[in-house]
A = this chain, B = another copy of it.
Amino acid sequence: MSKVATNPDGRPIQTTGPVLIVGSGLLGASAALALRAANVQVYLQDVSPTSLALARDLGAGEVYGPDSPEPSLVIVAVPPDVTAECVVAALKDHPNAVVTDVASVKSIIVDEVLESGVDASKYVPSHPMAGRERSGAAAADRDLFIGRPWVVVNRPGLDASAQVAVRNLAVDLGSTVIELDADAHDAAVATVSHVPQLVASLLAARLREASEDALALAGQGLRDTTRIAASDPRLWTSIVSGNCGPVVDVLHAFRSDLDNLIEGLESGARDGFGADGSVGAINAAVSAGNEGVARIPGKHGGVPRRWAIIEVLVPDKPGELARLFSELGAIGINIEDLSMDHSAHQRVGAARISVDPTKARFAETELEARGWRIVTQ
């Protein structure tokens, strides 16, 4: 009597095996672990025998061999620049299987697969928006996809049941399905992921020339805007080089705005404080940014819900944050979001806690009664 396997939301698992996973890196091995935990039969292929053995030893599945059964689903999880050829090989080798891939760019891969002349009616391109700072099977995690958007690409000539199979895979692994065509996907990731990465990198690069004194003035704003500049150059080169066109389109528009801003600032540098040119250009840039950032969906992707933010000073000694959160729990306050704000040199941090606005005043009063110092917003 075995329990019915369920996904992280408690729905019964829809994916039936055998599943063949080509590529046993972070994404492939993570999907394998999740499917194995749901009692789905998983086989692995990898050009690297070492990676393959590691993934197998981690419990990600059996090595695919000549005697292994025909898969009903093939997941190609290899670097973007070799994805198309692996997809074509999978379609040829397993003509009855649904084939998907998880590469972070789509048009360039879909085009190459279709140009190969293979029957691609069961090829459903996809892209789970999941990743980690570390790569490889050693970093794999069956929970990697939980709560992430997973783009499933629709396109003409696609077998409807094949698309359902890939949607089910995404849901089984805990993701939320978003359907897009390949071009819309590539434009979307250029805007919300690739360009932000590149701009953060270009911005952080300016710090190479900054003095130690200047860096000592770094605050939370700089830390936030440059955090992803610590990302792996090799990974991002492989991602962005497959999406040059859409990325360049966004960067051209960005540069045009930048040029306008620089022109205004140059007039300000000539004409002094409050020169019309600089004031207009700075105001236009910051106002446009206000409009853009307001469009990012809030938690759960619904209409952005406004939480009230309580900011509490937390001494930098063991147990203080734990005590704060424990006391918030005791007075019945749910923490919707949180972040720490601390600059260089300081001995006190500020915890920014997002709470239900109707309970914010109550929470502040209760915390102050317990000796916490609240920073008024």
Contacts and interface: CB of A to CB of B under 8 A. Distances in A.
A363 to B, nearest CB: 12
Contacts of A81: 273-274
Interface stretch (A47-55, A59-67, A161-169, A227-235): A227-235
A192 interface: yes
Contact of A230 (B148, B293, B339): B293
A286 B149 contact: no
A290 interface: yes
Interface in A286-335: 286-297, 299-301, 313, 316-319, 321-326, 328-330, 332-335
Contacts of A114: none
A143 B313 contact: yes
A193 interface: yes
Interface string A269-288: 10011110011001101111
Contacts of A134: 377
Contact of A348 (B147, B197, B242): B147
Given A132-B377, A285-B202, A196 B226 contact: yes
Given A146-B348, A214-B188, A313-B143, A289 B240 contact: no
A18 interface: no
Interface residues of A, number: 150
A370 interface: no
A210 B225 contact: no
A145 to B, nearest CB: 10
A360 interface: no
Interface string A338-370: 111011111111000000000000000000000
A317 B224 CA distance: 26
A334 B319 CA distance: 6
Q: Please provide the 5 A-B residue pairs with the shortest distance between their CB atoms, ordered closest to farther.
A: A147-B346, A322-B329, A201-B289, A301-B344, A188-B214
19 contacts: A129-B219, A133-B377, A147-B342, A147-B349, A149-B344, A189-B217, A192-B210, A196-B226, A202-B285, A204-B290, A205-B289, A221-B227, A223-B296, A226-B296, A229-B286, A230-B290, A231-B286, A301-B345, A318-B332
